[in-house]
Structure 1
Amino acid sequence: MKIIIAGAGSVGTHLAKLFSLENHDITLIDEDMARLMDIGNNFDILTLNDNPSSIHVIRDAGARHADLFIAVTPDEAHNLTICMLAKQLGAKQTVARVNNHEYALESNRELFSRTGVDSIIYPEMAAGKEIMDNIRRSWTRQWIPMLNDQLVLLCIKVRTGARILNVPLRDISKPDSPYHVVAIKRREDTIIPHGNDCLLDQDVVYFMTTEREASYLKEIAGKQDYPDVSNVFFLGGGNTTERALAFLPDYMHAKVFETDPHRIEHLQSLYDDNRIMCINEDGRNIDLLEEEGIHRAQAFVATTSSSSENVLSCLNAKKLGVRKTVALIDNSNYVTMAQSLDIGSIIDKKTLAADRIYHRILKSDVTNVKSLIIAAADVAELVVKEGSRATRHPVRDLNLPSTLTLGGMMRNGVGSLINGMTQLQAGDTVMAFCIEGSINKLGKYFN
């Protein structure tokens, strides 16, 4: 496929890297030569140093032959204009990143489609939902519903005292077990585990299970002492916090600390709710946090525009006794640092945005893909085709590469875990887990 990306920021460069691993024809446009040189020297990508909103630049980049044209510059208006122009110049499909949640509403989809913008990506919406999913299950680092909520992917950090440590997986995760270990992050390494592997203290582990069995995992992972969250503090009242508050459960109360009085007024106009208190003060002030009752909060979320401030604020909240902290990270360089500091949950809205776009063109009929922020791994949802290699033998005899594992599937609307004895059938929807960059190996099994 020919794919053109306008904007070489975090979203654009992440997308370019993902697409290049699939051997697509990628052109990346940006006015910042330094950004282009950084990625162009390491990946098979054509770079174009020019204004991506210029008609002649869009034409020269090959919009006429583009299967997908993606606009992810920092300017929302430019992104919409670029997509409209690219569509008129012949691009088959266009995707624009926006900063206004109204544009992302399903009711406005047809309006944008008529103007040449086929898809709208609003990163703050996905980030807000993910934040609230993490808070509602405070004992997890990530809680990701899969296959129409039939299955769930849980990320948990296991520590001394967990019943599942230091035992080969073949002995604790048997064919009839209610969970499947699909990925392990151990220090700097990501492991797709097999029967001889063991879970060790401080491992960050991804489990596939059902929501019904999640309480069992909470028990065996040694997380019974984590409290349910009824009070949460937010540092920063920007768009991500605004969207997170839209998902606030009825039983939860929130305090939002924001220094911009205009944002405070905006949030108060949106959420005239006695469960949400907006405070026009600097939430980094420890004396203020103590005065506002942080000792009664079970969760602290930092969503300012500074990744470093978010990480440090979460560390302070931990010192003040908050058990669950969530940091919004805009700079991928902070992910490893935040993990080493034991911050808790990490939300990268730019990676979330890239994931939403990436799944649109993957091979193997993949209908959804998600990068595991903590681990260098991807999880892909795909449909088994009639006569494909995956249908010829039980999973244990498919000779899958060591970098891949199958976690769960849905057949006739019912979700179940996959084990070595599972015989896949045409039409099954399967969740595959793989080391980052190896998704392209799925094609020969499922096509």
Structure 2
Amino acid sequence: MKIIIAGAGAVGTHLAKLLSQEKQDIVLMDDDEDKLLTMDSNFDLMTVCRSATSINGLKDAGVAKADLFIAVTPDESRNMTACMLASSLGAKKTVARIDNYEYLEPHHQEFFKKLGVDSLIYPEMLAAKEIVSSIKMSWIRQWWEFCGGALVLIGVKMREGARILDIPLSELGKQEAPYHIVAIKRGNETIIPRGDDMIKLLDIVYFTTTPKNIPIIRKVAGKEEYSDVKNVMVMGGSRIAVRTTQFAPDYMRMKIIEKDPTRCTRLTELVNDKTMIINGDGRDVDLLVEEGLKNTEAFVALTDNSETNILACLAAKRNGVRKTVAEVENIDYIGMAESLDIGTVINKKLIAASHIYQMMLNADVTNVKCLTFASADVAEFTVKEGTAITRRKVKDLGLPKGMTIGGLLRNSEGIVVTGDTQIEPGDHVVVFCMSMMIKKIEKYFN
């Protein structure tokens, strides 16, 4: 597949690195030669130092033969223009990064397709949705819904009170528990577990289950004393913060701490009535305590500085906040953030990349997510008639090491998959695998 990425900024370079590992034909475009130099020498891709809105530049990049053209420069209008030009010059599919939420409204999508922009990616909105999912319950690190909410994936850190520590998963399976353990993050290692694996203290364990069985996971994880999240404090009045307040459920009360008075004035126009805007420096712990930090169940740090966000979450933890979320845009800091036990990490680049990544897949994939802490991906496949995945029971499929099936949706009902499950055409199947394996497991669904 020939893929052209316009924009060698944070999102573009991360996506180029990700896709180059898959041996795709990648072309990275940017008019800043300095940004391209390290990519050209360190990764298996071609660089073109031309503007994404230059017709001759697009031709030099080979846009006429492009299967996918991705415009992720910092300038929204430039991305839209680049996609329109690429489409008219022969690109089969185009994706533009945008900053305007209005463009995502359903009645606008057909209009943009006619102009040559097939898909729109708004990283800040995607990040906000992930934040809201992660703060729904104070005891859960990460929360994702699949199959329209019939199945959920939750990541939980194992503390001393967990009842499933040091027991082989094959033994836990004999108890016919209504959940499936699909991944374990242990230090810097990610494990797609087998029957002889055991859960250890401080592991982050990823479970799939149905919504009604979440209390059972809470019980076995020893998290029953954790309070529900009703009060949320947000540090930094960024666009992600605004979207977070808009996606948060009605029962949550939110406070945004923003040090720029002008931005505070603007925030009062953008957020709803349930959100309080406070002008102050979120690094001032005394101010946070004065504003009710000790009575807050969740603290979210969304400044443009990763180090500030990590330290702020540490300070919140020391003041008794159980649930903390940090925006960490420096990928190199993600491992450090986990080792400091700050809670959930949000990274726009990884979130946007996982959404774009699913557009490359040949199988019928409706959802792909990158597990930020774990080097793993999760994808939702629709099963077609006659595919390999339907020919045997799950335990007899010979699935590759590093892959597991977490659950499925059949006749609008979520089902936790076991070794004896027979997958049928029309099922929606949730698959977990180590990073960069999704292309390898497509053969089971094609």
TM-score tier, shorter chain, comes to: over 0.9
1:360 and 1:367 in contact (8 A); partners too? no
Number of residue equivalences: 446
What's 2:299 paired with? 300
Q: Which moved further from structure 2: 26-35 or 433-442?
A: 26-35
Residue 432 of structure 1 is matched in structure 2 by 431
CA distance 1:108–1:264, shift in 2 (3 Å): farther
1:389 aligns with 2:407: no
Q: Counterpart amino acid of 1:295?
A: K
Q: Does 1:110 align with 2:93?
A: no
Q: CA deviation at 1:151?
A: 0.2
Say if 1:364 and 1:442, in contact at 8 Å, map to a contact too.
no
Aligned to 2:85: 85
In the TM superposition, 1:265-284 aligns within 5 A as: 265-273=265-273, 275-284=274-283
Q: How far apart are residue 85 of structure 1 and its match? A: 1.3
- Find the residue that maps to 2:249 and give its secondary structure: coil
1:421 aligns with 2:423: no
CA contact under 8 A between 1:329 and 1:347: conserved in structure 2?
A: yes
Q: 1:32 Cα deviation (Å)?
A: 4.0
Q: Which residue of 1 aligns with 2:256?
A: 256
Letter in 1 for 2:396: D
Deviations 1:272-314 (A, max 9, x none): 51x2110111111112112112111111100011111111111
**1:327 and 1:346 in contact (8 A); partners too:** yes
**CA–CA distance in structure 2, aligned partners of residues 163 and 105 of structure 1:** 46
C-alpha contact (below 8 Å) 1:173/1:181 kept by paired residues: no
State which drifts further: 148-157 or 435-444: 435-444
Q: Distance in 2 between matches of 1:437 and 1:232?
A: 35
Q: CA deviation at 1:412?
A: 2.4
Which secondary structure state, in structure 2, belongs to the residue aligned with residue 148 of structure 1?
helix
1:33-86 alpha-carbon deviations (Å, 9 max, x no partner): 454343444443222233323221111111111121100012212111111111
Q: Distance in 2 between matches of 1:254 and 1:390?
A: 45
TM-score normalised over the length of structure 1: 0.96
Unaligned runs of 5+ residues in structure 1 are: none
- Match in the other structure for 2:51: 51
Hey, what's the Cα distance between the residues in 1 that align with 2:212 and 2:392?
A: 30
Is the contact between residue 245 and residue 272 of structure 2 (CA under 8 Å) also seen in structure 1?
Answer: no
Instruction: Give the 5 Å matches for 1:83-232.
Output: 83-174=83-174, 176-232=176-232
- Structure 1 residue matching 2:149: 3-state secondary structure: coil
Secondary structure of 1:12 counterpart: helix
Q: Which amino acid aligns with 1:16?
A: A
Q: Deviations over 1:118-149 (max 9, x none)?
A: 21111111111111111111111100001111
Instruction: Output the CA distance in 2 between the equivalents of 1:162 and 1:391.
Output: 36
Coordinate RMSD, CA, aligned: 1.6
Moved more, 435-444 or 39-48: 39-48
State the match for 2:13 in structure 1.
Answer: 13
Alignment of 1:360-375 (within 5 A): 360-375=359-374
| Compared CA separation, residues 174 and 446, structure 1 to 2 (3 A) | farther
- Per-residue deviation, 1:105: 2.4
Partner amino acid, structure 2, of 1:313: A
Q: Which amino acid aligns with 1:267?
A: L
Query: Matches of 1:128 and 1:195 in 2, distance apart?
Result: 36
SS in 1 for 2:359: coil
2:398 is matched with: 399
- Secondary structure in structure 1 of the residue aligned to 2:321: coil
The separation in 1 between residues aligned to 2:208 and 2:124, in whole angstroms, is 26
Shift of 1:323: 1.2
The one-letter code sitting in structure 1 at the alignment partner of 2:235 is: L
**Shift in Å, 1:398:** 0.9
Moved more, 28-37 or 4-13: 28-37
- Distance in 2 separating the partners of 1:208 and 1:123: 25
TM-score (norm 2): 0.96
Q: CA deviation at 1:404?
A: 0.8
Task: Tell whether 2:23 aligns with 1:23.
Answer: yes
Q: CA deviation at 1:405?
A: 0.7
Range that drifts further, 435-444 or 311-320: 435-444
Query: How much does 1:115 deviate?
Result: 2.3
8 Å Cα contact 2:183/2:191 also seen in 1: yes
Q: What's the secondary structure of 1:107's corresponding residue?
A: helix
Percent identity over paired residues: 52
Matched-pair contact (CA < 8 Å) for 2:407–2:414: yes
Measured in 2, the distance between the counterparts of 1:286 and 1:443 equals: 50
**1:220-270 Cα shifts (integer Å, max 9, x gaps):** 101112111121111001100000000222222111111222322222113
Within 5 Å, which residues of 2 pair with 1:35-74?
Answer: 35-74=35-74
Contact 2:242/2:271 (<8 A) preserved: no
- Helix, strand or coil: the match of 2:349? helix
Q: Distance in 1 between matches of 2:18 and 2:428?
A: 23
**CA offsets 1:146-194 (integer angstroms, 9 cap, x no match):** 1111100001111222100000001113483211010111111111100
Q: Can you give the 5+ residue segments of structure 2 that lack an aligned partner in the other structure?
A: none
State how far apart, in whole Å, the 1-side matches of 2:440 and 2:324 are: 36
State the secondary structure of the residue aligned to 1:69.
strand
Distance 1:28 1:414, change over 3 A: same
